[in-house]
Amino acid sequence: MKFLDNMSFGQYVPADSPIHRADPRCKIVSAVALITGVFLVKEPLGFSSWIAVLIFLSRLSRIGIPMMLRTVRPVMLLIAFTAVINVFFTSGTPLWEMGPVSITSEGIRMGIYMSLRLLLLVLFANLLTLTTSPMALADGIESLLSPFKKIGMPAHDIAMMMTIALRFIPTLLNETDRIMKAQLARGADLDRGGLIRRLKAFIPVLIPLFVIVFQRADDLAVAMEARCYRGGGGRTRMKPFIWSWRDGLSLVFVIISVVVITLLEGRLKL
């Protein structure tokens, strides 16, 4: 049984596309702007516009929508939980009532909007990791945070930690899949019973997974020390960043899209 089929969360998918060739700093700032725009919309027009933008960027990056949707699997439970909470705990015009529990039209609307907002947030963030290698992403973050070094912010250390975290997500998923298969081969029952029983059944999976995580962290620390890693002081890049006019136009296009969608939604609402 394959538990983590086609999992691409946190992985880099190499391709020859305009988004892949863009400067990492441009992609990072653009992703932040897009996520900000998603949080600003509150009406169907705004969500429809951002879905259209997502489809356009997906085609431009040559990463299909099915592959992008697979990256949402790890957070589907969170999205569903958010929708349920909003449906049952938002006050308004009741559509169904049973004692203290009620479903309102405003709650259904809020649940749908919050789910779409979280879904778009994850998809835009994953589009960044799917089109940017971990090393380029780390260098881009470090470059953007470098002005804050003057006030003592460890820009290189922050970028390195984020890179390591992204790099080990696929590895940990593969380890989890391997441990679960091993437990199933030993007769473990992970798919049946209630919630409490399933949580207890996953204890033999979580314990070795934590052991592997700490072991890999220790191995990585030893390897970095053996290679005389001492932080970002005096380090240079093999491929220096070059901000081209295409990157500037792309960033301007993203910012204009955020402003236009937000203002257009507000005007049509009025």
Check whether residue 262 and residue 172 sit in a common domain. no
Check whether residue 183 and residue 121 sit in a common domain. no
Strand pairing partners for 102? 97
* Any domain includes 149: no
Concatenated DSSP letters for 227-242?
TT---STT---SS---
At residue 134, the pLDDT reads 78
Check whether residue 96 and residue 1 sit in a common domain. yes
Query: pTM for the full model?
Result: 0.74
* Any domain includes 142: no
Check whether residue 202 and residue 255 sit in a common domain. no
What confidence tens digit (pLDDT) does each residue in 67-107 have? 888 777 777 778 888 888 877 777 766 666 666 666 777 77
* Any domain includes 257: yes
Check whether residue 45 and residue 174 sit in a common domain. no
* Any domain includes 148: no
Concatenated DSSP letters for 78-110?
HHHHHHHHHHHH--SSEEEEETTEEEEHHHHHH
Check whether residue 133 and residue 247 sit in a common domain. yes
Check whether residue 1 and residue 98 sit in a common domain. yes
116 C-beta neighbours (distance < 10 Å), count: 20
Check whether residue 229 and residue 250 sit in a common domain. no
**Pairing mode, strands 94-98 and 101-104:** antiparallel
Check whether residue 124 and residue 171 sit in a common domain. no
* Any domain includes 75: yes
Q: How many domains does the chain have?
A: 2
* Any domain includes 147: no
How would residue 1 be classed by pLDDT, with cut points 50, 70 and 90?
A: very low
Check whether residue 10 and residue 78 sit in a common domain. yes
* Any domain includes 145: no
Check whether residue 111 and residue 244 sit in a common domain. yes
* Any domain includes 95: yes
Percentage of residues of the chain with pLDDT beyond 90 = 6
State phi, psi for 103 to the nearest 5 degrees: -115, 125
Q: Which domain holds residue 175?
A: 154-235
What confidence tens digit (pLDDT) does each residue in 11-58 have? 778 888 888 888 888 999 999 999 998 888 888 888 888 999 999 998
Check whether residue 78 and residue 3 sit in a common domain. yes
What confidence tens digit (pLDDT) does each residue in 110-138 have? 888 888 888 888 889 888 888 888 778 87
> How many Å apart are CA 61 and CA 194, to the nearest integer?
42
> How many Å apart are CA 169 and CA 192, to the nearest integer?
27
